[in-house]
Amino acid sequence: MKLYEYSASALAAMIRAGEVSAEAVLQAHIARIEALDPELNCFTDKTYSRAAAEAAAVDAMLARGAPVGPLAGVPFAVKNLFDITGLPTRAGSKIRRSAAPALADAPHIVRLCRAGAVLLGGLNMDEFAYGFVTENAHDGPTRNPHDVARIAGGSSGGSAAAVAAGFAPITLGSDTNGSIRLPAGLTGIFGLKPTYGRITRAGTFPFVDSFDHLGPFARTAADLALVYDLLQDEDRIGVLHDAPAGPLRVAMLDDWFRFGASTEMLEAVETVAQFFGPMETAVLPEARRARAAAFCITAFEGGQLHKQDLIARPEDFDPATRPRLIAGALQPAETIYQAQRFRAWFHQQALNLFERFDLLLAPATPCTAPLIGQATLRLGGEDLPLRPNIGLYTQPISFIGLPVVCVPVASLGLPRGVQLIAAPGREALALAAAARLEAAGILSAKVVP
């Protein structure tokens, strides 16, 4: 195995045991990035000098026998909406490239670095996180390591592709309507969207206050849990140790969550469901309206957030983002008020389902990764615009802030992601389920050769 193919936990263990230095691990990852990123286009900012200093500090601590953290010498990178000291937090935009450099790291970066991790840089995304494709007009598209003609998904496309390509074993991203789950699914890795409010949003550039979440990407369930544990405060013990023992009550979401899905995506969901026992189905009522409500609130809050720049410098926005933000800001107040009321109602419908089930399953996407530049998606026998519709299974879930682990179901073809959806605060359960599926060989998230 090459050094860039190991998980974060394995690398940290090897470094702690003195089998390899943090410096050697860093150089292996930098070489990988320099060889492949000119084509994949994951990184918008590289912090190699900082990384070298952090790796040297880890090696020095080990040399003098000082204790090191659980991510000692592990390289990582973040979506470029996280504050990185000394860099403008561009959030995928041209507008914020001229913003004042961040005076401090986001607390998420502080925590991972305190655990010994080594920051490689900032990663590409859709402008202001408003998209599912990472075809950024300013920074170019991020390409899917499994097929460079295809999208890596978005808006955290750089974060997902970087993990799939072996640029780093762990990265951080954000998810407002599916921006962790979609790219994780399309690039064949693990992604966690925690419960709304579970992880601080301090030190990150916002998009939609009602729905913004931050979370990790990884190639193993254990790494995902480890990073989540380092970022959250509410569970006092490691989440994998906090998981319930015994059989789980699992159901596949029917109705909206099967609408338009390809046969291979539905098979992936069934593969996961069968592992947990007899296949049951459940309906989350009015999910189509939930998705619509999320759609309207997103455009409204995003449009209001950027209103001053939409007035002063509309030409500087990505053409894919600008019209949706302007139209969103001008929506009738009634729509937004009723959408927020609907959110409260829909949340209760989900809680009712969790009285019968521990875990709900749904595809992350209706299909495997589309081509870069592809305009439409065939859904239910109809060709619909791809950009607003590929997140149709993720939007209703982030709308009510449920925790989701997106898992990569082993596949001979392009990656297929399945959402493991849990009740609020039950990250441990979803992560443990992912670990069990992984141990059974049902999931696979290897570095793309």
Q: How far is the CB of 138 from another protein (least distance, A)?
A: 17
DSSP at 239:
G
Nearest to 254 by CA among 236, 240, 270, 274: 270
The one catalytic residue among 7, 79, 174, 398: 79
**Strand pairing partners for 383?**
378
Closer by beta carbon to another protein, 84 or else 339:
339
The nearest distance, CB 293 to another protein, in angstroms, is 5
Told to judge if 444 belongs to the known catalytic residues of this protein, a careful annotator would answer: no
Give the SS3 label for residue 11.
Answer: helix
192 burial via Cβ count (<10 Å: 0-12, 13-18, 19+): buried
Count CB atoms within 10 A of the CB of residue 388: 16
Q: Is 155 a catalytic residue?
A: yes
Least Cα distance to 130 among 375, 308, 326, 344 occurs for 326
**CA distances (Å), origin 329, targets 178, 310, 311, 396, 413:** 21, 10, 11, 21, 41
Residues at the site binding another protein, with contacts judged by CB under 8 A? 210, 286, 288-289, 292-293, 295-296, 299, 307, 310-311, 314-315, 319, 322-324, 326-332, 334-335, 337-345, 347, 388
* Nearer Cβ to another protein (232/389): 389
- Is 254:282 a contact under the CB 8 Å cutoff? yes
CA distance readout (Å), 323 to 58, 133, 300, 303, 376: 47, 17, 12, 9, 18
Whichever of 26 and 293 has its CB closer to another protein, that residue is: 293
Q: Closest separation between CB of residue 271 and another protein, Å?
A: 32
CB of 234 to another protein, least distance (A): 17
Distance of alpha carbon 388 from the chain centroid:
18
Residue 140, token pair as written in the block: 């170019």
Catalytic residue among 7, 93, 155, 156: 155
- The percent of the chain in helix, strand and coil, each rounded to the nearest 5, is 40, 20, 40
Pick 82 or 130: Cβ nearer another protein: 130
Smallest distance, another protein to C-beta of residue 278, A: 33
Cβ 332 to another protein, closest distance in Å?
7
- 151 with 169: CB under 8 angstroms? no
Q: Is 156 a catalytic residue?
A: no
Q: What is the smallest separation between the CB atom of 317 and another protein, expressed in angstroms?
A: 9
Q: Which two tokens stand for residue 255?
A: 């109705």
Nearest CA to 181 among 415, 338, 384? 415
Residue that has been written with the tokens 């670990």 in this structure? 435
Residues 307, 176, 357: CA angle, nearest 5 degrees: 150
Spatial distance between the Cα atoms of 53 and 56, rounded to a whole number of angstroms: 5
Side chain identity at 381, as an amino acid letter?
G
> Closest separation between CB of residue 289 and another protein, Å?
5
Identity of the residue, 318 or 438, whose beta carbon is nearer to another protein in the bound complex: 318
* Cβ neighbours of residue 137 closer than 8 Å, sequence gap 6 or more: 127, 318, 319, 320
Active-site entry in 156, 179, 210, 398: 179
CA angle in degrees (0–180, nearest 5) for 155-160-162: 125
The residues carrying an active-site annotation are 79, 155, 179
